[in-house]
Structure 1
Amino acid sequence: MTSEEKKKVEKMIITNIEVIPFKIPNKRVVVWAAGSLPAAEHLIVKIVAEDGTFGLSEAIPRPMIYGETQAGMYHALTEHLKPMVVGQDSFNFQAIWEKFEYMPWNLAAKGAIDVALHDLNARLLNVSVAEFLGGPYRTKVPLCWQIGFGPVDEMIAEMKAKVDEGYRAFKVKGGPHPDEDIAVLREMRANSPAGTRLYIDANMAYGRQDALRVMRALEGVIDCLEEPMAASDDAGRKDLAARVDVPILSDESSFTVADVYRQIRLGAIGQVGIKIPRTGFTLSRKIVHLAECANIPVQVSLQAECDFGTAAGLQFACAFRQVSLPCELTYYVDNMGDSLLRVPLVIEDGHMHLPKGPGMGVDLDWEKVDRYAISI
């Protein structure tokens, strides 16, 4: 794209924010150590500028993790955050985030506004979000496939099928049964090609002794272990990281930029997982720079996004060199009951390709949105 093809926009005032709750049943109930999901009960956030251009995002509640419910996010977005944003310059992220400080937490609601603003501004400039963020550093992203709880033979079969499709990274849900986690990952390593990335997500379910036992048993088997113990257990996490060679991948310990800074200073994490619906692009960018300073690799982790929301993680992963690990961008493929996109994202040989076009590079199927929209 030439500079002449890009719009010159100095300022654009936000005139409205619309919020559309929706519910799409999952193909199956998704279960993990901290809860379960029978459906995607999310929201579409639409931010409209004075010239009619709009940006979109998928807002994702996690009541069992952040305390944000779909209804609560709807009211937070429409009654509290909307008045802070309408009338602002869409490019003035500093002023907007300063206003957000008057309403603590509500991480996913704020993140959704931030993502929609980036989509809006990139469309105004006729560039992709990856370009707007300073990239793209890459135009395709290696993918990590998540394998849920199930019989070991079925988990191995699922992994082998995905290996045949080009995947070389796998995340396994674990936590409640440490001995089973050890057995499953050993079996998976024995059945995976050389160079395959394997790790467990324990969702903080292990105690100190089980965490140490699992990580020692799996040294040389797994490439990391995602959140083995409580994020609040500073002493335990620091001690664990010092006693094993397996790095800890962050999630529940990394809700905010300050959280990531604290975990890095503790020496408690060796890899950083970023969830765009939780920290938007503005805060996620700050987290990437912290990881750069600490020389720690980064991945985009899943937040149970639909395919529409997945596009945001893809744009971010393509924008930054430090996002060097395979990314969890395929949740929707095997779990979501329907698509919200007019044209699907492209996955080939275990990689997802950056779509061409401004903003997120994807377009919502508004008939589908209407079909699954619900009232709050």
Structure 2
Amino acid sequence: MKIERIETIPYAIPYSHPLAFASGAVHTASHVLVRIHTDEGVTGVADAPPRPYTYGETQASIKTVIDEVFAPQVVGLDPFDREKIHGVMRRTIHNQVAKGAMDIALWDLAGKALGMPVHKLLGGWTDSMRVSHMLGFRPAPELLEEARRFGEEYGITTFKLKVGRRPLDLDVEACHVLREGLGDGVEIYLDANRGWTANEALEVLRRTEGLGLTLLEEPCDAKEAMSRRRLVEKSPIPVVGDESVPTAGDVSRELLSGGCNAVCIKTARSGFTEATEILGLCTGLGVDVTMGNQIDTQVGSLATVTFGAAHQASSRRAGELSNFLDMADDLIAEPIRIQDGRITVRDLPGVGADIDEEKLEKYRGDR
């Protein structure tokens, strides 16, 4: 079997409920669908979500680096020779989302060729994951209303609260309102998306003491090396690296330097191969991981479930899997269902994210 061609399709689907946070806001899923075609008719599929304010990649840059840099060197190779293909991609620095989509598409292709679900090829630990829902910048009463609705409709009992606002009172109030309104049986954790300084993060932790918050993700820029290390040492809850740890090398640096003591894994930027390397580092060092979300479509969310459910360590915590519900539409042929606060992996060859071709034609931007 040989790779015959690689297809990159830009498309755009609006969000009915845009998500706002410290480093930006997402109103439209302007993504790239990546398809790797073989000479035997087997095709691997993945979704690439650009986040220019976080990783510097755009819809145009993802398409260009795959079409003009990776594809000319990869076409003609055996799709099972993943290490050779990764060797090609490693020659180009950064471009993590483009590389991640290539990798997931290769795994999807392999699963289809072997007639095996990818979650079993990766490890097959369990068949579902608990769901965490992300709450964006909104007034505290509206956040509480949204959390209650998701709890009632989908059985979700874990919420990530986007923080990092100034004045700090806005975020502190939201924490108190959510805890009082949701009760002690609901998990709440924070994600500041580098919106505070380390000292501001310490002040928020002081003012939310006793609320039972479980994690504090990316409170400040990793360049604040000294103050960030002091924050990690003084924080009563784990400080999670996210934007600062997109690669296995970054994870090693931040964990060993004391810049974080937990890690968020996002398959959209690491694919399954580097996510496995990151998970191995974390389990070897006894560090907790979360499965994060780049405000993914259902195609991307299904990839996260596939990897997260495959391993014991990545399935312990609820994964951020539900924000596709805020989209006006999606490309997936069989929609994801959240039942009793969980999403189940697809017991199908590959990742199981078949594309609705009519919707792809409707939303693609290259016609």
Smaller-chain TM-score bracket: over 0.9
Is the deviation greater in 211-220 or in 39-48?
211-220
Among 151, 155, 165, the alignment partner of 1:166 is 155
Q: Which amino acid aligns with 1:154?
A: E
Among 316, 321, 326, the alignment partner of 1:329 is 321
Equivalence for 2:173: 183
In 1: Cα distance, 2:249 partner to 2:202 partner: 26
SS at match of 2:299: helix
The RMSD of aligned alpha carbons is 1.4
1:340 aligns with 2:331: yes
* Maintained 8 Å contact 1:219/1:246: no
SS at match of 1:141: strand
Could you list the per-position Cα deviations for residues 20-77 of structure 1 after superposition, in whole angstroms to 9, with x for gaps in the alignment? Answer: 1101111133221111222110011000122110000001111111111111111111
Could you list the per-position Cα deviations for residues 241-277 of structure 1 after superposition, in whole angstroms to 9, with x for gaps in the alignment? Answer: 1112121122111111111111111233232211111
TM-score by length of 1: 0.93
Among 188, 211, 218, the alignment partner of 1:227 is 218
TM-score by length of 2: 0.96
Equivalence for 1:134: 123
Q: 1:307-322 maps to which residues of 2 (within 5 A)?
A: 307-322=298-313
Equivalence for 2:131: 143
In structure 1, stretches of 5+ residues that fail to align are 1-11
SS at match of 1:144: strand
SS at match of 2:120: helix
Among 105, 121, 124, the alignment partner of 1:116 is 105
Is the deviation greater in 48-57 or in 182-191?
182-191
Among 288, 308, 327, the alignment partner of 1:297 is 288
In 1: Cα distance, 2:82 partner to 2:210 partner: 44
Among 23, 26, 46, the alignment partner of 2:15 is 26
Q: Which amino acid aligns with 2:157?
A: R
Could you list the per-position Cα deviations for residues 94-115 of structure 1 after superposition, in whole angstroms to 9, with x for gaps in the alignment? Answer: 1111111221111111111001
* Maintained 8 Å contact 1:60/1:305: yes
Count of aligned pairs between the two proteins: 363
Is the deviation greater in 287-296 or in 209-218?
209-218
In 1: Cα distance, 2:221 partner to 2:15 partner: 29
Could you list the per-position Cα deviations for residues 121-175 of structure 1 after superposition, in whole angstroms to 9, with x for gaps in the alignment? Answer: 011011111011121x111100001111112111112112222232111011110
In 2: Cα distance, 1:120 partner to 1:274 partner: 22
Q: Which amino acid aligns with 1:142?
A: R
In 2: Cα distance, 1:125 partner to 1:220 partner: 51
* Maintained 8 Å contact 2:199/2:227: no
In structure 2, stretches of 5+ residues that fail to align are none
Could you tell me how far 1:375 is from its partner in structure 2?
2.0
SS at match of 2:346: coil
* Maintained 8 Å contact 2:117/2:347: yes
Identity percentage over the alignment?
Answer: 33
In 2: Cα distance, 1:96 partner to 1:369 partner: 27
1:288 aligns with 2:279: yes
In 2: Cα distance, 1:270 partner to 1:219 partner: 19
* Maintained 8 Å contact 2:34/2:105: yes
* Maintained 8 Å contact 1:208/1:229: yes
Among 74, 81, 84, the alignment partner of 1:85 is 74
In 1: Cα distance, 2:313 partner to 2:17 partner: 34
